[in-house]
Amino acid sequence: MSRYAISDIHGCANTFRHLVEDVIRLQSTDQLFLLGDYIDRGPDSKGVIDYILNLQEQGYNVKTLSGNHEYMLLQALKEETYLNSWLWNGGKETLASFQATTIHDIPERYWKFFTELEYYVETEDYLLVHAGFNFAAENPFQDFYNMLWIRNFAVDYDLLGSRKIVHGHTPTPVVKINERVADAEAKVINIDSGCVYRQVLGLAYLTAFNLDTLTLEYVPNQEA
């Protein structure tokens, strides 16, 4: 059994499928942790969710966390004033992938997926989350907003103990991710290699991090 983490797919369904099937070759005995931001900006948000649901329906052990883009989508459904913010941040591409005119045209099975996403996963050796933790809060594990949005957070090493934090949210060049993973003392590892940002040097990769071997697998953006 192997454990993998992937973050910030952002509608890059072809890239995601290639990474899972052809590169890490996910097995039914493996665990796959997905750290949020499945939707927005890229061309096929619906395809990403469909692929995740299909893996789960086939019996693969896939744990799904929320990212800030799923949060924005849910807020846009609840509050009309939030809708433009979501559309401006990639929501238009998401609607197009669903062939939807409005947010209300997205089918119910997808809303069920979005509302059931978790905020973080705790294992014996890792804390997995989309953005990070606000260790200045009275209870960092109840500060759900910052789990989706925080950047450049200070770590409470007493609370963290021997575990490492693996997160996404902040696009980072692959060379920097490699350097971080190679540092045996590093307690915080960001695996968002900016898959959707083809125009930015050093980004435009999707990364799978093997939590057991501390090795990385990258694939470049495969979208048409």
Delineate the domains of the chain, giving CATH numbers in brackets: 3-220 (3.60.21.10)
How much is the average pLDDT of 50-56? 98
Work out the mean pLDDT of the chain and round it to a whole number: 98
Distance CA 217, CA 205 (A): 10
- Smallest Cα–Cα separation from 64: which of 15, 110, 12, 125? 110
How much is the average pLDDT of 136-143? 98
Distance CA 95, CA 109 (A): 15
Residues 171 and 177: beta-carbon distance below 8 Å = no
- Locate 83 and state its tokens: 């809708």
Distance CA 189, CA 185 (A): 11
**Residue range 181-222, pLDDT digits in tens:** 999 999 999 999 999 999 999 999 999 999 999 999 999 999
Q: Is the pLDDT of residue 145 over 90?
A: yes
Predicted pLDDT of residue 80: 86
- Smallest Cα–Cα separation from 15: which of 195, 192, 137, 140? 195
Distance CA 91, CA 205 (A): 21
**Residue range 107-129, pLDDT digits in tens:** 999 999 999 999 999 999 999 99
Interhelix angle 108-115/68-78, nearest 10 degrees: 120
Distance CA 156, CA 202 (A): 30
Residues 6+ apart with CB under 8 A from 184: none
Distance CA 125, CA 106 (A): 37
DSSP strand E in the chain: where? 3-6, 31-34, 61-64, 120-122, 126-129, 164-167, 188-190, 205-210, 215-220
